[in-house]
Amino acid sequence: MEIGKWLIFIGFTISVFGLIFYIFGDKLGLLGNLFGDLKYESKNIKIFFPFTSMLIISIIISIIINIISKFFR
């Protein structure tokens, strides 16, 4: 039963983050344009690797999950 509660919580959290990025996506212009985000464009190909943005988002989500998990203990 505990796994079911965690899956619902994780799904809800992902939905909230998705809604935030959907609503405020145009105001978060910094993400995707950071120093470590690699962009390659040629005549027929465009490739984008947002390494720095993914790292920052991962750190923020890890901090939020650790704070929330301390409340459920």
pTM of the model: 0.57
Mean pLDDT, to the nearest integer, of 57-71?
A: 87
Q: Whole-angstrom Cα distance, residue 46 to residue 39?
A: 8
Residue 16 has pLDDT above 70, yes or no: yes
46 burial type by CB count under 10 A (0-12 exposed, 13-18 middle, 19+ buried): exposed
Contact 51, 38 (CB under 8 A): yes
Residue 59 has pLDDT above 90, yes or no: yes
pLDDT the model gives residue 28 = 65
Following DSSP, what letter does each residue of 13-47 receive, concatenated? HHHHHHHHHHHHGGG-TTTT-STTEEEEE-SS-EE
Among 5-9, 16-20, 29-33, 45-49, name the one with the lowest average pLDDT: 29-33
